[in-house]
Amino acid sequence: MLTGIKAFALEVVYPQKTMTVISSDSTFFIGSSNPNLPLTVNGRPVKVHRTGAFAQTVRLNNGKNIFNLESGEEKLIYIIDRPLPLLNLQNQQSCLKEYSAPVSAFTAKDGAVLRQTPVDSGINRLAHFQKDIPLIIDGENGDFLRTALNSTTKAWIYKGDVQTAGNSAPAALKNYERQDNAEFYIFNFDFDKKTPYIIQEGNPLKVTFYNTAGNPDLTYVFEFPLTRKLNGYSGRFEGSGFVLKIRKYPASLSGLKIAVDAGHGGDEFGAAGCLGDLEKNINLAVSKYLEEELTKRGASVIMTRTGDTDLGLQERVLIANENDAGILLSIHANSLPDNADPNANRGTSIYYYYNQAKPLADSILSSMTQKLGTRDDGVRQGSFALVRNTDALSVLIEVAYMINPYDNELLRDRNFQKQCAKAIADGIENYIKSE
């Protein structure tokens, strides 16, 4: 007997309201009904999974769309309004304005993002600056200022993150020291003031300091040859000194600090599954099994949340970094936008942002798809807060799809959740051994 299902009443989980507005050429109904009765949407049969879960894509015409859902005696009517596409009146062609003379400025807040292009999206981040990093501004484009790092390198920073003023005279490197410890290679660069920098992953790991006196094109490049895969690093100013920490490669899972982040929580439900279950609860269940499994194998686990609590994205990253985690795993279950098909999409996918985390993502994905039998939904680079962290190898795992009836049954199953934790732990162990 199937447990956990209230009764086989016809229930729709998405769209949430019987009258709603959706600006897309298609959407879907997600919900549950009695699997022993035929279900129809506007007279057309819909496949009902053995758990009662269903997902059905429907096309939307401009204006009002009426949908009749029928299962036995039960009947629901949904009216979805698709508004006419708005004409883009703004048609704002942003364009580059170059200044006749450069202007001195400095970053006005911590976490100011230095970008390759004047756009707030995609994979274009070059650095996350702390407050008070001096910059030379030589142009602007839309909401962004262009900074000249040296004679050939330009980068972009959001106007609101910068204050014009100050002194952009070159910094001087006074001294340099190396002080490794058991966990890190540590380099201290003693500057007389802060200066812009970019860290580039690769072998060697490269830190380029700009606007530094006594160097060709005022540019000083520090290189650290790696003997093993890059495995977490940080570079930040402490006062006027720059501290570069490169994490040593772990010998085994034993003693390794791993942060496990159960996505969403509290008022943030995440996605809703066909049978009405909430992503936040499934994420937490998988995360707790993961804590148990990793602890059993000798890792030291830091949980960002252990209950149904609200927690900001930056807070989660901070918890991982303050506890010096070497790996950060954010656990989620997937959903889809209106114009996608919830029956066609299922399986496990893993996101990373920095290249150093890709081999770990690959290893966890192959372990999960092999051991759980979930479809390989790919390893992708994505700009999510939880993976835009270099201190730890940071990956976001979409275990399976909440809104796919097949995946939804797996996600609700305690045994699957346990096996999932084992498969993730195996993936981490395989990654460590692969060196």
Beta carbons of 233 and 391 less than 8 angstroms apart: yes
| Distance in Å, CB of 53 to Zn ion, minimum | 19
Residues in region 298-337 near Zn ion by CB under 5 A: 332
Nearest CB to Zn ion, comparing residues 112 and 272 = 272
3-state secondary structure 310-360: CCCHHHHHHHHHHCCCCEEEEEEEECCCCCCCCCCCCCEEEEECCHHHHHH
Among 35, 196, 235, 263, binds Zn ion (CB under 5 A): 263
Nearest CB to Zn ion, comparing residues 270 and 405 = 270
Task: Indicate the length of the chain as a whole number.
Answer: 435
What is the three-class DSSP state of 190? Answer: strand
- Read off the amino acid at residue 30: I
Nearest CB to Zn ion, comparing residues 294 and 402 = 402
CA 307, 308, 310, 316 dihedral sign is positive
- The CB-nearest residue to Zn ion is 332
Using the rule CB under 5 A, give the single segment among 147-155, 178-186, 266-274, 418-426 that binds Zn ion.
266-274
Alpha-carbon distance 256 to 258, whole Å? 6
Residues in region 122-161 near Zn ion by CB under 5 A: none
Nearest CB to Zn ion, comparing residues 162 and 386 = 386
| Distance in Å, CB of 48 to Zn ion, minimum | 26
| Distance in Å, CB of 391 to Zn ion, minimum | 22
| Distance in Å, CB of 262 to Zn ion, minimum | 10
Alpha-carbon distance 431 to 415, whole Å? 24
| Distance in Å, CB of 412 to Zn ion, minimum | 16
Q: Does 270 bind Zn ion (CB under 5 A)?
A: yes
| Distance in Å, CB of 270 to Zn ion, minimum | 4
| Distance in Å, CB of 334 to Zn ion, minimum | 7
Write b or e for each residue in 180-207: b if 16 or more Cβ atoms lie within 10 A of its Cβ, otherwise e. eeeebbebebebebbbbbbbeeeeebeb
Using the rule CB under 5 A, give the single segment among 37-45, 161-169, 192-200, 264-272 that binds Zn ion.
264-272
| Distance in Å, CB of 25 to Zn ion, minimum | 25
Question: DSSP states of 264-322 as a string?
Answer: -BTTB---B-TTS-BHHHHHHHHHHHHHHHHHHTT-EEEES-SSS----HHHHHHHHHH
Neighbours of 391 (CB within 10 A): 20
What is the three-class DSSP state of 420? Answer: helix
Nearest CB to Zn ion, comparing residues 115 and 332 = 332
Nearest CB to Zn ion, comparing residues 176 and 269 = 269
Alpha-carbon distance 138 to 150, whole Å? 11
Query: How distant, in Å, are the alpha carbons of 30, 49, 101, 219, 223 from that of 142?
Result: 41, 50, 19, 28, 35
Q: In terms of C-beta density within 10 A (0-12 exposed, 13-18 middle, 19 or more buried), how is residue 21 classed?
A: exposed
| Distance in Å, CB of 398 to Zn ion, minimum | 7
Nearest CB to Zn ion, comparing residues 279 and 426 = 279
Nearest CB to Zn ion, comparing residues 166 and 378 = 378
Q: Considering CB under 5 A, how many residues would be counted as binding Zn ion?
A: 3
| Pattern 330-349, Zn ion, x by CB under 5 A | --x-----------------
Nearest CB to Zn ion, comparing residues 146 and 332 = 332
Using the rule CB under 5 A, give the single segment among 269-277, 372-380, 404-412, 418-426 that binds Zn ion.
269-277
- Contact footprint for Zn ion (CB under 5 A): 263, 270, 332
